[in-house]
Amino acid sequence: MEQSKILKISDLVEDLTAPRWVEYPAIPGVKVLLRMPDIPESTKLVAKASQPDGQGGFTIDWVEFHDLLMRYALVDWEGLKVKHLVVFFPGHKLIIEDPQAGTPAPLGEAELAYCAENRDFLLSQSSGFFNWLHQAVREWDEKLRAQEEADKENLSATPNTTPTPSA
C-alpha cells in the first residue's frame, strides 16, 4: 500500500493532552500555556520522583512528583508584565529600577519573558500562582478522566460485532 494512503491512528484521535492557552483569572490579558503529560511523560515524571525503598522496590516522593508535574505543565505565558508582580507577591517590596542607571525606570509595562528561571521562581515563591496552576491542572485531569469514563460507557453500550473465530 502506498505510504500516503495509509490511515494513521494519530491523525484520527484527538490529543486531549495537547498544550492549550488558559487565562489567568486574576490578571486580565495574562495567559499561560499549559500541557498535560501523556502516558510516556507521566511514566518519566514518576520515575524521576521515585526512590529505592531499600527492599528492592521503589517509593514515590509525591511532593517531588507534584513539583515536577507543575514545572512540566507550565510551558509558556503571554502578557505577564512587571506591574503584575504585585498580584503574585502581595506585601512584598518590588524593586523596579534600571539596574544599570540605579534610577527608577518605567519598567511596569515591561513584559516578563518566560524562561525556566522565571517559571521556577514563580512556582516556588508565589503560593497564589502555584495554587491556581495546581487547580487548573487538576480540573483538566478531571475532565480527561470524565471523558474516558464517558467513552467507556459509550463503548459498552455498543453491541459486540466482533466476529467469532471459526472452528
Instruction: List the one residue out of 27, 127, 136 whose CA is nearest residue 82.
Output: 27
Quote the CA–CA distance of 67 and 48 in Å, as a whole number.
11
Q: Would you say how long the chain is, in residues?
A: 167
Low-confidence residues of the chain: pLDDT under 70: 1-4, 97-106, 156-167
3-class DSSP state for residue 20? strand
Beta-bridged to residue 50, according to DSSP, are: 60
Q: Which of 69, 70, 75, 68 is nearest to 33 (CA)?
A: 75
The pLDDT, as a whole number, for residue 150 is 82
Whether the predicted model's global pTM rises above the 0.85 cut: no
Residue 126 CA: distances (Å) to CA of 4, 73, 89, 100, 133: 50, 16, 6, 27, 11
Q: Determine the pLDDT at residue 98.
A: 60
Among 84, 111, 106, CA closest to 96: 106
State the burial class of residue 165 (Cβ atoms within 10 Å of its Cβ: 0-12, 13-18, 19+): exposed
Give me the helices (H) in the chain, please: 9-12, 39-48, 62-73, 85-88, 116-125, 127-157
